[in-house]
Amino acid sequence: MTRKHLGKASSNYSSASFKTLDPIPRALNSDSFGVDFWNAYEFTYLDKNKLPVLKVLEIAVPSNSKNIVESKSLKIYLNSFYKKKYIYQKDVLTVIKKDLDKITGSSIKVRFVNKYINEPDSINLNNTKLKNTPSNKILLFSGFRSICPVTAQPDFANIYILTEAKIDISWLNNFLVSYKDKGDFHEQCIEGIFSKINTKYEPKNLDIIGRFMRRGGIDINPVRSLNKKPFFTNFRFFNQ
């Protein structure tokens, strides 16, 4: 799998533009609705006085978009704003939305974040003594691990699940652990987990979010649901 930037020496951030962005065709799951939340914690641009403004940026990409964006290309693209001047914050967001709409083939949402929602209360699957999951309780599996299919570097996440189905916890834990040496992008991991649970248990309601740890100042958090309005939003489990 050849990518523009991933696994290669970094380009000059100041010369990055729309052409820097590297689209990856999305493998769609027709049974799910959802969104991918991208949090960029180190985004900066220049204000009208050419002074740096440091912001946290949230990008929400619909799960039915034509493409996703390779993460390193997005980092290089966002880092190019450090020497660009904008009088109004909304003008920065307008530029980013226009470029990401075009590269993803969808209508994304982008905003600056001042404070995140706190992590919801949950049952930790790693240490519970229950044999089956209780209905309609948020489940947490911590320490999820997968492998980047290009660089072979590990990615880590907390996985949250909400469903009325009673899932065998031993099976669920073993299934989630099975990803530890699997080479998949974040979005594909969550699509695969959603599809497996949905096929095996045929629940009426199913919501999953993967809260991945950040790399290079950005984390990617896919949400998948059987409902058009997913239960999970863009919370953080490290909220400092």
Which residues are catalytically annotated? 148, 155
Give the Cα separation of 238 and 240 in Å (integer).
6
CB 183 within 8 A of CB 148: yes
Measuring CA to CA, which residue among 43, 81, 51 is closest to residue 214? 43
Amino acid letter for position 74: L
Residue 84's DSSP bridge partners are none
Beta strands in the chain (DSSP E): 23-25, 33-46, 52-62, 67-69, 109-112, 117-118, 123-124, 139-147, 154-163, 206-212, 218-225, 235-236
